Structure 1
Amino acid sequence: MFEKRHYVPILKWKQGEQKAIELLPLTVKQGLTPLLEIPPIDWDFENEAPKKTIDEHLANVSETLSRSWGLDRPLYLDLNFIESNERMASGQHPLGYIFNQLRTDGINAIPVTGTNRDSAYQIEVISAHQRDQLGICIRLTEEDFDDLQVNIDSLLTTLGVDTTEIDLVIDYKYVNPNDRTRTALFISGLINGLPYLNSWRNLILCGTAFPKDLSDVGSNTIDQIERSEWIIWKRLIQTNRVNRTLTFGDYAIANPEPFEADPRLIRMSANIRYTGDDKFIIFKGRDLRKYGHHQYYQLAAQAVAHQEYKGAGFSAGDHYIQEVANQSTTPGNPATWRRAGTNHHLTLVVNELSTVALP
């Protein structure tokens, strides 16, 4: 069982997030267990076809996990974005393929499932648990809440495991800051009414107030977004509204939904996402195609000058921000800034959890 101050970030396993975890010191890694989502295969909008085969898409997953995580402790792995009819060229199910690779490379992983996965997926989850004996992670979303007892019992019967072998994730996904109080009341009632509340191995609450895009943030501005998921978790814990240990989880500096728009039609603006006390701080420039990546020099200087900036020694991400602000390195691109912002965020949350007042 996790201790009270453990952290479960949900991260899409892309280049920026991979490097963000790789650059974490051991002391920070030990304070978290990532739930990693394999992103969907990118779509080639010009040719109206997937950019890769499933074999190409999954070829380096085990290698990147080994390099970035590198711990004996387990991580969670979810293939929720991979189409259910996908199979490797050999005919093998993608989940079985990845777990065989992870096993060979000495990576401990716990399979993530939910009530919406098909029977072939569930068979692979059962097989992974039987071979590795690491348990199973069940991820409940809003669609499950209406008939929770039936949904949970049905899935437990399918998996054939006891609740003591299961880590249960209540994934609220997007939390609208305008509905924070109502959401907190709903979540506390939902959790306290959970079937088998005290017998789950771990109970994890995940969500985020980070929006799907930053279109509501004006160009050349510094804005902020409330970290409602963090505020809700703290209040539930500090007011004893939940009748058992509740682990905190979030989506770092991203929204739960994958990016699926045609990149030819998107006008992405330069931006730095920086997590502060109870808020995300957004330093936003202008259209990258038109005004270029050199905007990041000014944005980084604004971040370093901000009162919430933690200093170059706080994390690898903060060090990178300082380097760009000093113009002693290249201005980077959206992937390097996702790395920097995610690395800072993970470090910050582990530190926050180590100091937050808990009953």
Structure 2
Amino acid sequence: MLINPGKYVPVLKWKQGEQRAVEVLPHSIKERMSPLLELPPIDWDYENECPKKTIDEHILRIGETLSASWAIEAPLFMDLIYIDPNERLYNSQHPVSYVMQEARNRNINLIPVTSPDRDTAYQNEVRLAHQHDQNGICIRLKEHDFSNLEHNITNLVSNLNVGFSEVDLIIDYEYSDPENQVRTLFFLEGLLSNITLIQHFRSVILIGTSFPPDLSKIGSNSIDTIERSEWLIWKSIIQTNDLYKTIQFGDYVISNPVPFDADPRFINMSANIRYTATDKYIIFKGKSIRKTGASQYFRIAAEVVRHLEYYGASYSNGDNYINEVANQNEGPGNATSWRKAGTNHHLTVVVNELSNLILP
């Protein structure tokens, strides 16, 4: 049975690599997505023990990046979960208010994301944004919200003065080790069965990932795989009950949910290419960039191109980049360019998987 699973909801940390990955997607792919953008936390200056930027500097270009990367009518979700709740711009404006206004100025349709634990000021800005734009609201629930689930949902809907049909509900179980796939599946089925109003929401979205916090368990100069258990779990759930057939799929693309937070002076990152394939991630890993240099990406890219599960240079912008580096016409690239390539490829893969999904 060919099904229509709705739009794909990838969670994107809105940094340069992800922005550029979305920017070069064809409109035919963008139109089948509703990305959830997370404004990243302000980087920390470890030498001077202070933030590297003010909040004004941090979000100054948000409208520009949205316009350059998206530029279609389809809405985006925007979450400022990693911005300190006490932050205000120089003119005392709340960051949520600024971001929503910047999007309006560029005709970008943003749906604000909130959770039961956000402070009063944040919730007020979300309510005002909906009143102004009439785009609805997204409620994102994580593990600490799962107890008293229905109470948390109904309370927040009431406080935001919004109807259930104007709410997109996200169940975000974040990281789940692939070894716990069956346990996670049973847990989520039980959780969903306790949401008695599930059919009344505008949409229900299940988001998770099996991508680990780091690649330290993968050996140098090796090729390894990680099962995409979030994809397999979602496919199992939508077959469980007729009510679940319209639950949309989301993931964290080729990242772990926890923002990277380490002193860059002591980071010893290995060269790696993260490549999404059917039901798994393939990790092509080299050696330390600091010790071995970035030129090893020429060899690693060639390994991707020779791999049986390489999709071909014409599949996506990211695949074309990999091929160009393999042939030493580009590159060797850096962390940003490889995040762009891997993200662009992944987004294309998932949209196409969803469009061609056949279930028994």
Q: Same fold (TM over 0.5)?
A: yes
For residue 192 of structure 1, report the CA deviation from its aligned partner. Answer: 2.0
Deviations 1:169-202 (A, max 9, x none): 0001001101100111111111122141110000
Is 1:53 the equivalent of 2:54? Answer: yes
For residue 263 of structure 1, report the CA deviation from its aligned partner. Answer: 0.8
> How do 1:133-152 and structure 2 match up within 5 A?
133-152=134-153
For residue 241 of structure 1, report the CA deviation from its aligned partner. Answer: 7.1
The answer as to whether partners of 1:5 and 1:354 remain within 8 angstroms in 2 is: no
For residue 90 of structure 1, report the CA deviation from its aligned partner. Answer: 0.3
Alpha-carbon separation, structure 2, partners of 1:195 and 1:56: 44
The answer as to whether partners of 2:8 and 2:34 remain within 8 angstroms in 1 is: yes
User: Unaligned stretches of 5+ in structure 1?
Assistant: none
Alpha-carbon separation, structure 2, partners of 1:243 and 1:58: 37
User: Unaligned stretches of 5+ in structure 2?
Assistant: none
Q: For 1:181, give the aligned amino acid.
A: V
> How do 1:179-194 and structure 2 match up within 5 A?
179-194=180-195
The answer as to whether partners of 2:238 and 2:245 remain within 8 angstroms in 1 is: no
Report the 3-state secondary structure (helix = DSSP H, G, I; strand = E; otherwise coil) of the residue aligned with 1:229: helix
Structure 2 equivalent of residue 248 of structure 1: 249
Report the 3-state secondary structure (helix = DSSP H, G, I; strand = E; otherwise coil) of the residue aligned with 2:294: coil
Is 1:106 the equivalent of 2:97? Answer: no
The answer as to whether partners of 2:199 and 2:243 remain within 8 angstroms in 1 is: no
The answer as to whether partners of 1:191 and 1:242 remain within 8 angstroms in 2 is: no
The answer as to whether partners of 1:207 and 1:249 remain within 8 angstroms in 2 is: yes
> How do 1:33-72 and structure 2 match up within 5 A?
33-72=34-73
The answer as to whether partners of 2:6 and 2:246 remain within 8 angstroms in 1 is: no
TM value normalised by structure 1: 0.98
Alpha-carbon separation, structure 2, partners of 1:30 and 1:291: 41
Alpha-carbon separation, structure 2, partners of 1:26 and 1:75: 14
Q: For 1:144, give the aligned amino acid.
A: D
Deviations 1:115-170 (A, max 9, x none): 11000000000000000000000000011111112211221121011111000000
The answer as to whether partners of 2:271 and 2:296 remain within 8 angstroms in 1 is: yes
Structure 2 equivalent of residue 273 of structure 1: 274
Report the 3-state secondary structure (helix = DSSP H, G, I; strand = E; otherwise coil) of the residue aligned with 2:12: strand
The answer as to whether partners of 1:41 and 1:50 remain within 8 angstroms in 2 is: yes
Alpha-carbon separation, structure 2, partners of 1:223 and 1:147: 40
Alpha-carbon separation, structure 1, partners of 2:109 and 2:273: 33
Structure 2 equivalent of residue 345 of structure 1: 346
Q: For 1:220, give the aligned amino acid.
A: N
Structure 2 equivalent of residue 200 of structure 1: 201
Please provide the CA RMSD for this pair: 1.2
The answer as to whether partners of 2:43 and 2:53 remain within 8 angstroms in 1 is: yes
Deviations 1:203-227 (A, max 9, x none): 0000000001111111110001010
